[in-house]
C-alpha cells in the first residue's frame, strides 16, 4: 500500500503532539491518570501498576482487590520500563496504539461501508470525508489525547473493536471475530456487538462471493470462532494466573457486579450508592438488560446498515455501561465522522454539542468542589454526569433519527427536504 | 432514553408532514410494519426471557423454615420449667448407716416443709451413695460434715470459707432416734442450710418472676417470705451488676494528676490478685485484661475540688460528687475494646498536694460505679520529707511496687465479683461462685428463650423479611442447647447447664441480630413503588404502549380479515 502523504502527516502530527505535551507538562500523565473521567476501576493505569508490582513479585495480581483488568496486560506491560521513572516508552506505546486505532479507522472509512453497503446505499453518499480527516478527528480529539496520556487500558478494547470493524469491512470475517474476541476478553461489553458485527461480516461476505451462504450457518460458525478466541485468550491467561475462579471473579465478576462505586461519568455509581441493598441484585439485572436490549432491537430496525448499528451501540455503551470513561466516548466520536452524510439531517447538533462542552468543562470543576474543596456534594458531580449523558444520548438519538430519515427519503423521494416533526 | 422512541416507531409513524393536509405521509409498507413488529418483539423478548427471571430470582425473599411453635413454647415457658435441685452431701463419719439415713430423712423432711419455692430446692444425700451413681452425677453444691463433740449444749455449725464444706458439731445425744419424726439436730441443720441458700433462692425467685417462663413456673408460690431488706439488697445487686456477656474486658488504669508514679508492678499484681478470680470465673465468662498508665490526668473543670479537713489533716471528696470523679471527656477510658463490655478499674494516685485523699462521709478510698467498674484512691506512703517546712518539695514515688498495690487489687477483685453479680452471702467464696453459676445458667436460659420468642413473633408479624439459612441453623443450635441446658439443670449439673446456656444465648442473639434481616424490618411494601417506579416507569411506558399498539393492529387486522 503506497503511503498516503496526508495520512502520514496526520499520524506524525498526532504523535508529535502527544510527545510534546508529555515533554512540556511532565506531570500531565499522572494528573490525568488520577482523574475519574479518564480512569475507571476497570481501566485505571494506577491499578494496572499495582497489579504489575504484585505480578513481578510472583504474587497473584488480584490479591488486594485493586487490580481488575485482564491478565494478558501484565506480561505486555512488564516488558516496558517502569512508567514512573521512564514515562516516555509507555507514552510512546500508547501513542502507537492510538495511531493503530486511527489506521483502522482509515481502513473503515476508505471502504465506504458507512455510506453504501450491500442492502442500503445512502442518497447522500457523495457527502463524505476522506480517511485521513476521520483519522484526524480521532487523533486530535481532546478526549482521545487525554485517554492516551492518562494511559487508560480502555484503549486496548477500542483497538479490538476498531480492528474487528476494519477486518469486517475488508471481508476478513475470521479476523474480525478474533479481534472482537480480544475486545470482549479485555472488557465484556463488546460481546454485545456480536450480532450487528456478524451481520456486517455476512453482508461483506455475500457481496464478494457469488453464492450467498446460509445465514444461520454463517452466524453459528462465526460465533464458534468468537467463542474460541475468547476461550483461547482465557486459556493463555490461565497460564499467567493459574486460578480460573479468582481470575473470573476478579475481572468479569467485578465488571458484571459493579462492587466498586467510585464516581465516574456514568449513571451506575450514584444509583447503586442510593439503592436499598435488597434491590441491588435486581437493579443490576435491570441495568444490564437495559444495555443488552438495544443490541437486538437496533439490529432489527437498522438491519440494512450494520456498521451504523455498531457505532450507535458504542454510543449507547458509552452512556449506559457500568464503568464508562471518556475513552468510550472518544471511541464513539471517532466513528461519528464516518456518517458525515447524516450531519445535514441532524436537528439538535448545537444543543447536544453545547451540553457536552458544558459537561466536560464543569465536570472537573464540580468534582473538585465536591472532593477537594468540600463546598459541594455528590449531587453536583452527578448532575454534571447526567448532562453529559444527556448530551451523548441526544447525539445518539439524533444520528439514529438521521439514519431513519435517510432511509425514508430513499423510499419516498418526493418527500425529500420537507420539514418534519416527531409525534 | 429518547433513542428508544426513535427506534420503536418506524419513520412513517413518527414523521408527519406539516406542509399541507394534501401531502399526508404515504401509507406504511408491509415490510415496515413487519420491522416494527420485530422491534417490539425484540424488546419484549428480552424482558420476558431475561427480565422476568432476573426479577423473580433477585427479589424473591428467602425464608428459611423456623420451628416457630417450638420457639414460642420455649419463650412461654412451656418447654422447660427451670428447676434447680441443689445437691448436698452428708459426711457422717461418726454415725451408723441407719442413723445417718434417719438423720437425712428427717432433715430433708424439715427442709421440704420450710421450702415453699418449688423451682429451687435442696436435695440431701449421703456421701457414699455417690459411688452408685456413675452416670448423670450431679454437681455437689455443699458437703455437710457431721462431727460429734461431746461437751456441747447444742449443735453448732462452721462454714469453711475456702471450700464448700459446712462443719456441724453436735452433741452425740442429739442423734435422732429411728422412731422420731423430728429432732433438734435435723431441724438445726435444716435451718442452717435454709439460711445459707436464702439469698440465692431469693435471687432466683426474683429472676424467674421477672420473665414469662419464670412467671409461669413460680406463679403458685408468691407466698414465700423474703424479708424486705433481702429483696432490696438483691434488687440493688442486680441493678449494679453488668449485663451478662460472653467476654468481658477488664481494663486496669492508673491515673495520676502529676508525673509520678509512672510505673507499677501491674503484671505481678494481676497475676497474684486478679488471675485467681478470673480463673474461678472462667466457666461463666471469658476475660481479657488490659492495662494503661495515664499521667497528668486532671479532674474535669466542673468537678468540685477536694476539700481540706483541718481537724483530721485529710483531703476529702463529697460522697455526692463521686459520680463526677471520672473525667469521662478526657480520660481515655474506651467504652469498648472489641466485642463485649469493658469493666474499668481505676487506680487514682492523688497529687502530694492533696495527700491523703478520702471520701468525706465514710473515710473510704474505693467505690463501685454500677455497671461500669470500680475506683480505688491509693494514697502511697510519701518519701520522707527532707525539709519539713515545705510540702511543695514532696512528690509521689515514681514506681508503685506490688506491696503498695495489694490493697487496691484486693479491692478490685472484690469489686469484680460484685460487678458480675456474685451474691454477698454466704461467706464461702466457692459457694458464692457456685451460686453465681446457677444464677447465670437460669438467667441465660430465660434470656435465650425469650430471644427465641421475640424472633418467632418477629417472623410471624413481618412476612416480608428474609430469613437466611444461618438464622435457621442458629435457631436449631439454640434449641438443642436449650434443651440440653434444661436437662442438665434438672439433673443438678449446673456447670454443663451453664455451658449449654452460654452457647444457646450466643446463637440466639446472633440469629436475632442477623444483619440482612434487620435491614428490612422497617421496609413496608409501599416503599417498593418508590423503588420500582422512577426507573422502570419511564422505560416501561413506551414499551407497554408499543406493545398495545401492535396488539391493536393485529386485532384490527383479524377483524378486517374476518369481515372481509
Contact state of B17 with A420 under an 8 Å Cβ cutoff: yes
Q: Does B34 touch chain A if contact means CB atoms closer than 8 Å? A: no
The answer to whether residue B218 sits within a structural domain is no
CA of A342 vs chain B CAs: smallest distance (Å): 15
| Contact status of A200 with chain B (Cβ, < 8 Å) | no
A411 touching B (Cβ < 8 Å): yes
Contact of B533 with chain A, judged by CB distance below 8 Å, is answered with no
Q: A54 lies in which domain range?
A: 5-415
List the 288-317 stretch of A: residues with Cβ below 8 A of B. 289-290, 292-294, 296-298, 300-303, 312, 316
Nearest chain B residue to A282, by CA: B58
**Which candidate, B323, B33, B58, B85, places its Cα nearest to that of B197?**
B85
Contact status of B542 with chain A (Cβ, < 8 Å): no
Look at residues B66, B71, B63 and name the one whose alpha carbon lies nearest to residue B465: B63
Higher pLDDT, B525 or B85: B85
In chain B, what residues touch A420 (CB-CB under 8 Å)? 15-18
Average pLDDT over residues B512-535: 74
Asked whether residue B303 falls in the same domain as residue B412, the answer is yes
Tell me if A423 is assigned to some domain.
Answer: no
> What nine digits make up the cell of B537?
416507569
CA distance B3 to chain A (A): 4
Q: Could you give the angle at the alpha carbon of B210 between the alpha carbons of B207 and B216, nearest 5°?
A: 100
Q: Do A286 and B519 lie within an 8 Å CB cutoff? A: no
The share of chain A scoring above pLDDT 70, in percent, equals 98
**Overall average pLDDT of the B469-489 stretch:** 89
Q: Which residue has the cell 458544558?
A: A358
- CB contact under 8 Å between B6 and A411, yes or no, is no
Tell me if B3 and A285 make a contact (CB, 8 A cut-off).
no
SS3 of chain A: the string is CCCCHHHHHHHHHHHHHHHHHHHHCCCHHHHHHHCCCCCCCCCCHHHHHHHHHHHHCCCCCCCCCCCCCCCCHHHHHHHCCCCCCCHHHHHHHHHHHHHHHHHHHHHHHHHCCCCECCCCECCCCCCCCCHHHHHHHHHCCHHHHHHHHCCCCHHHHHHHHHHHHHHHHCCCHHHHHHHHHHHHHHCCHHHHHHHHHHHHHHHHHHHHCCCCCCHHHHHHHHHHHHHHHHHHHHHHHHHHHCCHHHHHHHCHHHHHHCCCCCCCCCCHHHHHHHCCHHHHHHHHHHHHHHHHHHHHHHHHHCCCCHHHHHHHHHHHHHHHCCCCCHHHHHHHHHHHHHHHHHHHHCCCHHHHHHHHHHHHHHHHHHHHHHHHHCCCCHHHHHHHHHHHHHHHHHHHHHHHHHHHHHHHHHHCHHHCCCCEEEC
- Which tens digits make up the pLDDT trace of B109-159? 888 877 777 777 777 777 665 544 444 566 777 888 877 777 777 777 878
Are A419 and B519 in contact (CB < 8 Å)?
A: no
Residue B427 belongs to some domain of the structure: no
B25 touches chain A (CB under 8 A): yes
**Does the CB of A35 have a partner CB in chain B at under 8 Å?**
no
Tell me, yes or no, whether B99 and B10 share the same domain.
Answer: no
Residues B43, B96: one domain?
A: no
pLDDT band at B201 (very low <50, low <70, confident <90, very high): confident
Q: What is the pLDDT of residue B520?
A: 61
Looking at the 3D structure of chain A, how many domains does it have?
1
Residues B17 and B113 grouped into a single domain: no
Query: Is residue B21 over pLDDT 50?
Result: no
Helix A5-24 vs helix A87-111: angle between axes, to the nearest 10 degrees?
A: 150
pLDDT band at B5 (very low <50, low <70, confident <90, very high): very low
- B234, pLDDT greater than 90: no
- Cα dihedral A76, A81, A86, A89 sign: negative
Kind plus residue range of the DSSP H or E element containing B539: helix B527-563
Query: Within chain B, what is the greatest distance between any pair of CA atoms?
Result: 138
- Domain assignment of residue B15, yes or no: yes
User: In this complex, do B51 and A279 lie within 8 Å of one another by their Cβ atoms?
Assistant: no
Q: Is B47 on the interface with A (CB under 8 A)?
A: yes
Tell me whether A275 touches chain B (CB under 8 Å).
yes
pLDDT digits (tens, 9 = 90+) for B426-466: 777 888 888 888 888 888 888 888 888 888 888 888 777 78
B502 found inside a domain: no
Q: What CATH code is carried by the domain that includes residue B113?
A: 3.30.379
pLDDT tens readout for residues B70-110: 888 888 877 777 788 888 888 777 777 777 787 788 888 88
Residue count of chain B, please give it. 564
Residue B513 lies in a domain: no
pLDDT at A2: 58
Residues of A in contact with B24 (CB under 8 A): none
How far apart are the C-alpha atoms of A403 and A397, rounded to whole Å?
A: 10
Mean pLDDT of chain B: 79
Q: How many domains does chain B have?
A: 3
CB contact under 8 A, B55 and A421: no
Pairing type for strands B263-264 and B399-400 reads parallel
Contact yes or no for A296 and B11 at CB 8 A: no
- Minimal C-alpha gap between B529 and chain A (Å): 12
Give the pLDDT score at A103.
94
Is A416 an 8 Å CB contact of chain B?
A: no
In this structure, is residue A159 part of a structural domain?
A: yes
pLDDT of res. A182: 95
Q: Which residue of A has its CA nearest to B36?
A: A301
Give the pLDDT score at B518.
66
| Measured CA distances, A62 to A55, A232, B170 (Å) | 9, 21, 81
Say if the Cβ atoms of B46 and A293 lie within 8 Å. yes
Q: Are residues B155 and B281 in the same domain?
A: no
Interface contact flag, A420 B466, Cβ < 8 Å: no
| Angle between helix A326-335 and helix A87-111 axes, rounded to 10 deg | 30
Judge whether B135 is closer than 8 Å to chain A, CB to CB. no
Tens-binned pLDDT, residue by residue, of chain A (423 aa): 556 788 999 999 999 999 999 999 999 999 999 999 999 999 999 999 999 999 999 889 998 889 999 999 999 999 998 888 888 999 999 999 999 999 999 999 998 888 888 888 888 888 888 889 999 999 999 999 999 999 999 999 999 999 999 999 998 999 999 999 999 999 999 999 999 999 999 999 888 887 777 889 999 999 999 999 999 999 999 998 888 888 999 999 999 999 999 999 988 999 899 887 778 888 898 899 889 889 988 999 898 999 999 999 999 999 999 999 999 999 999 999 999 999 988 989 999 999 999 999 999 999 999 999 989 888 999 999 999 999 999 999 999 999 998 888 888 877 776 666 554
Confidence band (pLDDT; 50, 70, 90) for B220? Answer: very low
Could you say which of A285, A411, A421 has the minimum Cβ distance to residue B16? A421
**DSSP label at residue B467:** B
Query: If residue B202 lies in a helix (H) or strand (E), which one and from where to where?
Result: helix B198-209
Joined together, the cell numbers standing for residue A320 give 449506559
β-strand pairing of B84-91 with B314-317: unpaired
The C-alpha of B465 sits at a distance from chain A's nearest C-alpha, in angstroms, of 10
Whether residues B33 and B90 fall in one domain: no
CA distance from start to end of chain A:
50
Ramachandran category for residue B339: left, alpha or beta (phi over 0 → left; psi -120 to 50 → alpha): beta
The answer to whether B286 and B294 have CB atoms below 8 angstroms apart is no
pLDDT of B40 higher than 60? yes
CB-based contact A407 B539, cutoff 8 Å: no
Yes or no, beta carbons of B17 and A290 under 8 Å apart: no
| Residue of A284, A404, A409, A414 to mutate, interface with B, max B Cβ within 10 Å | A404
For residues A303 and A317, what is the distance between their CA atoms, to the nearest angstrom?
Answer: 19
pLDDT value at B6 more than 50? no
Query: Same structural domain for residues B162 and B306?
Result: no
Contact check, Cβ <8 Å, B45/A296: yes
Nearest-by-CA chain B residue for A315? B3
**pLDDT at residue B16 greater than cutoff 50:** no
Instruction: Choose the closest CB to A400 out of B3, B520, B523.
Output: B3
Contact A276 B25 (CB under 8 A): no
Chain B residues with CB under 8 Å of A281 CB are: 57-59
Whether residues A400 and B23 touch (CB distance < 8 A) is answered with no
Contact of A327 with A334, CB cutoff 8 Å: no
pLDDT level of residue B18 (50, 70, 90 thresholds): very low
- Determine, for residues A292 and B29 on separate chains, whether the beta-carbon distance falls below 8 Å: no
Instruction: Indicate the helix (H) or strand (E) that contains B250.
Output: strand B247-255
Could you tell me if B536 lies within 8 Å of chain A, comparing CB atoms? yes
Interfacial B residues in 392-451 facing A (CB < 8 Å): none
Q: Is B452 helix (H, G, I), strand (E, B) or coil?
A: helix
pLDDT band at B1 (very low <50, low <70, confident <90, very high): very low
* Interface contact A206, partner B, CB < 8 A: no
- Nearest C-alpha neighbor of A325 from the set A152, A138, A145: A152
For residue B129, is it within any domain?
yes
* Domain that residue B279 falls in: 247-383+394-419
With respect to residue A235, please indicate whether it lies within any of the assigned structural domains: yes
Q: Among A316, A337, A308, A311, which residue's Cα sits nearest to residue A407? A: A308
Q: Do B6 and A397 touch (CB under 8 A)?
A: yes
Question: Which residues of chain A lie closer than 8 angstroms to B519, CB-CB?
Answer: 276-278
- Name the minimum distance, in Å, from the CA of B509 to any CA of chain A: 23
- Decide: A34 and A364 in contact? Cβ < 8 Å: no
Question: Do B303 and B398 fall within a single domain?
Answer: yes
Q: Is any Cβ of chain A less than 8 angstroms from the Cβ of B7? A: yes
Grid cell 502529676 in the structure block, residue: B258
Q: Do A286 and B51 touch (CB under 8 A)?
A: yes
Q: Are B162 and B263 found together in one domain?
A: no
Q: Chain B closest CA to A287's CA: distance in Å?
A: 10
CB count, 10 Å around CB of B456?
21
Element (H, E) at B454: helix B429-461
Considering the domain architecture, whether residues B123 and B26 belong to the same structural domain is answered as no
Amino acid at each position: 500500500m503506497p503511503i498516503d502523504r496526508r495520512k502520514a502527516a496526520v499520524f506524525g502530527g498526532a504523535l508529535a503532539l502527544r510527545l510534546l505535551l508529555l515533554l512540556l507538562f511532565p506531570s500531565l500523565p499522572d494528573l490525568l491518570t488520577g482523574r475519574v473521567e479518564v480512569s475507571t476501576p476497570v481501566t485505571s493505569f494506577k491499578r494496572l501498576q499495582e497489579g504489575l508490582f504484585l505480578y513481578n513479585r510472583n504474587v497473584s495480581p488480584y490479591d488486594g482487590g485493586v487490580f481488575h483488568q485482564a491478565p494478558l496486560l501484565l506480561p505486555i506491560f512488564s516488558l516496558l520500563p517502569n512508567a514512573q521513572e521512564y514515562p516516555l516508552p509507555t507514552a510512546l506505546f500508547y501513542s502507537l496504539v492510538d495511531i493503530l486505532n486511527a489506521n483502522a479507522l482509515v481502513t473503515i472509512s476508505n471502504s465506504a461501508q458507512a455510506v453504501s453497503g450491500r442492502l442500503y446505499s445512502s442518497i447522500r453518499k457523495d457527502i463524505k470525508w476522506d480517511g485521513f480527516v476521520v483519522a484526524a478527528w480521532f487523533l486530535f480529539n481532546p478526549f482521545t489525547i487525554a485517554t492516551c496520556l492518562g494511559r487508560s487500558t480502555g484503549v486496548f478494547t477500542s483497538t479490538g473493536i476498531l480492528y474487528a470493524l476494519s477486518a469486517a469491512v475488508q471481508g476478513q470475517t475470521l479476523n474480525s471475530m478474533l479481534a472482537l474476541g480480544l475486545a470482549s476478553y479485555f472488557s465484556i461489553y463488546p460481546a454485545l456487538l456480536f450480532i450487528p458485527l456478524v451481520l456486517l461480516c455476512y453482508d461483506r461476505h455475500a457481496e464478494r462471493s457469488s453464492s450467498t451462504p446460509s445465514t444461520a450457518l454463517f452466524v453459528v460458525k462465526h460465533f464458534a470462532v468468537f467463542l474460541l478466541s475468547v476461550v483461547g485468550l482465557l486459556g493463555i491467561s490461565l497460564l499467567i494466573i493459574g486460578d480460573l475462579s479468582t481470575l473470573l471473579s476478579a475481572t468479569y465478576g467485578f465488571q458484571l457486579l459493579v462492587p466498586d462505586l467510585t464516581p465516574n461519568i456514568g449513571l451506575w455509581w450514584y444509583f447503586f450508592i442510593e439503592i436499598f441493598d435488597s434491590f441491588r441484585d435486581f437493579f443490576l439485572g435491570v441495568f444490564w438488560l437495559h444495555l443488552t436490549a438495544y443490541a437486538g432491537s437496533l439490529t432489527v430496525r437498522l438491519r440494512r446498515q450494520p456498521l451504523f448499528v455498531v457505532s450507535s451501540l458504542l454510543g449507547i455503551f458509552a452512556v449506559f455501561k457500568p464503568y464508562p470513561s471518556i475513552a468510550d466516548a472518544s471511541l464513539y466520536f471517532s466513528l461519528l465522522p464516518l456518517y458525515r452524510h447524516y450531519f445535514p439531517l441532524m436537528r439538535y447538533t448545537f444543543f447536544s454539542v453545547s451540553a457536552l462542552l458544558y459537561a466536560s468543562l464543569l465536570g472537573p470543576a464540580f468534582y473538585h468542589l465536591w472532593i477537594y474543596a468540600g463546598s459541594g456534594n455528590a449531587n453536583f458531580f452527578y448532575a454534571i454526569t447526567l448532562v453529559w449523558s444527556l448530551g451523548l444520548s441526544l447525539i445518539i438519538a439524533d444520528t439514529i433519527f438521521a439514519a431513519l430519515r435517510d432511509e425514508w427519503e430513499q423510499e419516498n423521494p418526493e418527500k425529500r427536504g420537507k420539514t418534519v416533526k416527531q409525534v | 432514553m429518547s433513542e428508544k422512541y426513535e427506534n420503536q416507531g418506524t419513520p412513517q409513524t413518527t414523521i408527519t408532514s406539516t406542509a399541507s393536509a394534501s401531502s399526508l405521509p404515504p401509507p406504511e409498507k408491509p415490510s415496515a410494519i413487519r420491522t416494527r413488529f420485530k422491534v417490539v418483539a425484540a424488546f419484549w423478548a428480552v424482558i420476558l426471557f431475561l427480565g422476568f427471571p432476573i426479577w423473580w430470582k433477585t427479589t424473591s425473599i428467602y425464608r428459611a423454615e423456623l420451628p416457630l411453635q417450638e420457639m414460642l413454647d420455649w419463650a412461654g415457658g412451656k418447654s422447660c420449667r427451670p428447676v434447680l435441685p441443689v445437691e448436698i452431701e452428708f459426711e457422717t463419719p461418726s454415725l451408723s448407716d441407719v442413723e445417718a439415713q434417719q438423720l437425712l430423712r428427717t432433715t430433708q423432711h424439715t427442709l421440704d416443709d420450710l421450702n415453699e419455692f418449688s423451682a429451687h430446692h435442696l436435695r440431701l444425700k449421703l456421701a457414699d451413695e455417690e459411688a452408685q451413681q456413675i452416670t448423670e452425677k450431679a454437681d455437689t453444691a455443699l458437703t455437710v460434715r457431721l462431727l460429734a463433740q461431746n461437751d456441747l449444749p447444742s449443735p453448732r455449725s462452721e462454714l469453711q470459707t475456702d471450700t464448700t464444706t459446712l462443719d456441724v458439731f453436735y452433741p452425740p445425744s442429739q442423734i435422732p432416734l429411728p422412731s422420731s419424726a423430728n429432732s433438734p439436730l435435723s431441724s438445726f441443720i435444716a435451718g442452717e442450710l435454709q439460711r445459707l441458700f436464702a439469698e440465692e433462692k431469693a435471687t432466683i425467685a426474683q429472676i424467674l418472676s421477672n420473665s414469662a417462663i419464670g412467671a409461669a413456673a413460680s406463679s403458685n408460690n408468691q407466698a414465700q417470705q423474703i424479708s424486705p431488706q433481702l429483696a432490696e439488697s438483691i434488687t440493688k445487686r442486680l441493678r449494679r451488676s453488668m449485663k451478662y456477656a460472653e467476654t468481658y474486658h477488664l481494663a486496669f488504669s492508673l491515673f495520676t494528676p502529676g508525673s509520678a508514679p509512672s510505673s507499677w508492678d501491674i503484671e505481678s499484681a494481676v497475676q497474684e490478685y486478679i488471675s485467681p478470680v478470673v480463673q474461678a470465673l472462667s466457666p461463666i465468662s471469658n476475660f481479657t485484661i488490659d492495662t494503661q498508665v495515664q499521667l497528668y490526668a486532671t479532674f474535669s473543670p466542673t468537678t468540685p475540688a477536694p476539700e481540706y479537713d483541718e481537724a483530721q489533716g485529710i483531703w476529702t471528696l463529697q460522697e455526692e460528687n463521686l459520680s463526677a470523679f471520672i473525667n469521662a471527656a478526657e480520660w481515655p477510658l474506651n467504652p469498648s475494646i472489641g466485642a463485649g463490655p469493658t469493666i474499668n478499674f481505676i487506680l487514682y494516685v492523688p497529687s502530694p498536694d492533696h495527700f491523703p485523699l478520702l471520701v468525706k462521709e465514710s473515710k473510704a478510698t474505693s467505690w463501685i460505679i454500677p455497671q461500669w467498674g470500680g475506683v480505688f484512691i491509693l494514697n502511697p506512703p510519701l518519701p520522707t520529707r527532707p525539709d519539713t517546712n515545705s510540702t511543695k518539695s514532696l512528690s509521689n514515688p515514681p514506681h508503685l511496687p506490688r506491696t503498695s498495690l495489694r490493697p487496691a487489687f484486693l479491692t478490685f477483685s472484690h469489686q469484680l465479683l460484685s460487678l458480675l453479680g456474685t451474691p454477698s452471702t454466704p461467706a464461702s467464696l466457692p459457694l458464692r461462685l457456685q451460686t453465681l453459676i446457677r444464677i447465670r445458667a437460669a438467667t441465660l436460659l430465660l434470656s435465650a428463650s425469650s430471644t427465641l420468642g421475640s424472633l418467632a413473633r418477629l417472623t410471624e408479624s413481618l412476612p416480608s423479611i428474609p430469613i437466611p439459612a444461618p438464622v435457621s441453623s442458629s435457631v436449631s443450635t439454640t434449641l438443642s442447647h436449650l434443651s440440653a441446658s434444661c436437662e442438665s439443670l434438672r439433673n443438678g449439673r449446673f456447670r454443663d447447664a451453664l455451658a449449654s446456656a452460654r452457647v444457646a444465648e450466643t446463637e440466639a442473639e446472633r440469629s436475632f441480630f442477623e444483619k440482612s434481616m434487620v435491614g428490612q424490618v422497617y421496609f413496608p411494601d409501599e416503599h417498593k413503588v418508590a423503588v420500582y417506579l422512577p426507573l422502570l416507569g419511564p422505560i416501561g411506558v413506551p414499551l407497554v404502549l408499543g406493545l398495545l399498539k401492535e396488539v391493536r393492529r393485529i386485532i384490527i387486522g383479524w377483524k378486517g380479515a374476518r369481515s372481509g
